[in-house]
């Protein structure tokens, strides 16, 4: 196999990795906010259930969670999912895992907001939704951005865990190629890919942080 052929295969893996990354962020960032609301809910049942969910997601390996999502439907309900389910299971597993982490980040940000902001909003007549989305959330986002950046960088590297479900993303492809061709190049290429991907993430997040620099 020529180097070009290897790179074409790696590029296909790269597309899948990018897909896992994008879908996970698109789902888990808003889902995390909902989870954070549940975690801070006045309803004790909801609060406890959500707290338990978060602790499971944070307290067990993501690899194991991916397997549960993938094999669960068969072992629990006898459902045979088609082979296309591998990628879906990856999306679901990553999204619910990252939503738990983001929820805790949102929660710490929301709880760090001074109560005076809520009181000023109430006196000025803002409704609950307006207060949250106009006054609180923008400030929370600024506060939590560094923690979110950390999480996103971890996600780039975590996407390689999809190899557990034999999803042909960057890492699985590189590993398979390296073994079949007894050649280090695919692994080096994968390493460079993750590194450049994260440089890009860091660059974008820095720009976003700069964009929010207009106030303190």
Partner 1 sequence: MKLLELNHVVKSFGELSVLKDISLSVEEGEIVSIIGPSGSGKSTLLRCATMLETMDRGEVIYLGRKAAWTGENGRAVYAGKKELKEIRSQYGLVFQNFNLFPHYSVMKNITDAPLHVQKRDRETVFREARELLKKMGLEDKEDAYPYQLSGGQCQRVAIARALALNPKILFFDEPTSALDPELTGEVLKVIRSLADLHIAMVIVTHEMAFAKDISHRVIFMADGVIVEEGAPERVFSSDNERTQSFLGRYGTIL
| Residues lying near partner 1 in the complex (CB under 8 A) | 114, 116-117, 119-120, 122-126, 130, 134-135, 138-139, 142, 214-216
- When the beta carbons of 192 and 209 are compared against partner 1, the nearer one is 209
Q: Measure Cα distances from 92 to 18, 54, 64, 66, 99 in Å.
A: 15, 15, 13, 8, 10
* Spatial separation of the C-alpha atoms in residues 133 and 184, rounded to whole Å: 50
The least CB distance from residue 109 to partner 1, in Å, is 14
Question: Residue 84 or 211: which CB sits closer to partner 1?
Answer: 211
Of 30 and 138, nearer to partner 1 (C-beta) is 138
Minimum gap (Å) between residue 45 Cβ and partner 1? 25
Q: Please, what is the minimum distance in Å from the beta carbon of residue 148 to partner 1?
A: 17
- Other Cβ atoms closer than 10 A to 71: 13
Q: How far is the CB of 105 from partner 1 (least distance, A)?
A: 19
Please identify, using beta-carbon distances, which residue of 31 and 212 lies nearer to partner 1: 212
Tokens standing for residue 119: 């009181």
User: Residue 35: which residues within 8 A CB-CB, separation 6 or more?
Assistant: 50, 53, 54, 99, 100, 102, 103
Q: How far is the C-alpha of 197 from the C-alpha of 18, rounded, in Å?
A: 9
Closer CB to partner 1, 119 or 206, in the complex = 119
3-class DSSP state of 148? helix
In the complex, least distance from residue 170 CB atom to partner 1, rounded to whole angstroms: 38
Nearer Cβ to partner 1, position 42 or 80? 42
CB 14 within 8 A of CB 193: yes
67-to-94, 97, 209 alpha-carbon distances in Å: 11, 13, 36
Min. distance of Cβ 108 from partner 1 in angstroms?
Answer: 19
Backbone φ, ψ for residue 80 (5° rounding): -95, 115
């Amino acid at each position: 196999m020529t180097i070009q052929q290897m790179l074409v295969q790696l590029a296909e893996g790269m597309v899948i990795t990018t897909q896992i990354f994008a879908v996970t962020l698109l789902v888990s960032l808003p889902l995390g906010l909902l989870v954070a609301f549940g975690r801070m809910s006045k309803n004790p049942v909801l609060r406890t259930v959500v707290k338990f969910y978060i602790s499971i997601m944070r307290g067990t390996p993501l690899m194991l969670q991916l397997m549960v999502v993938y094999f669960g439907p068969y072992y629990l309900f006898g459902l045979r999912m088609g082979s296309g389910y591998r990628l879906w299971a990856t999306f679901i597993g990553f999204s619910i895992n990252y939503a738990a982490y983001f929820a805790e980040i949102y929660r710490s940000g929301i709880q760090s907001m001074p109560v005076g902001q809520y009181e000023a909003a109430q006196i000025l007549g803002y409704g609950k939704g307006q207060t949250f989305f106009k006054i609180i959330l923008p400030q929370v986002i600024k506060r939590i951005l560094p923690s979110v950046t950390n999480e996103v960088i971890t996600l780039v590297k975590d996407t390689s865990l999809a190899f557990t479900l034999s999803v042909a993303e960057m890492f699985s492809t590189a590993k398979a190629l390296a073994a079949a061709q007894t050649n280090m190049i695919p692994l080096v290429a994968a390493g460079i890919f993750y590194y450049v991907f994260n440089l890009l993430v860091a660059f974008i997040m820095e720009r976003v942080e700069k964009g929010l620099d207009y106030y303190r």
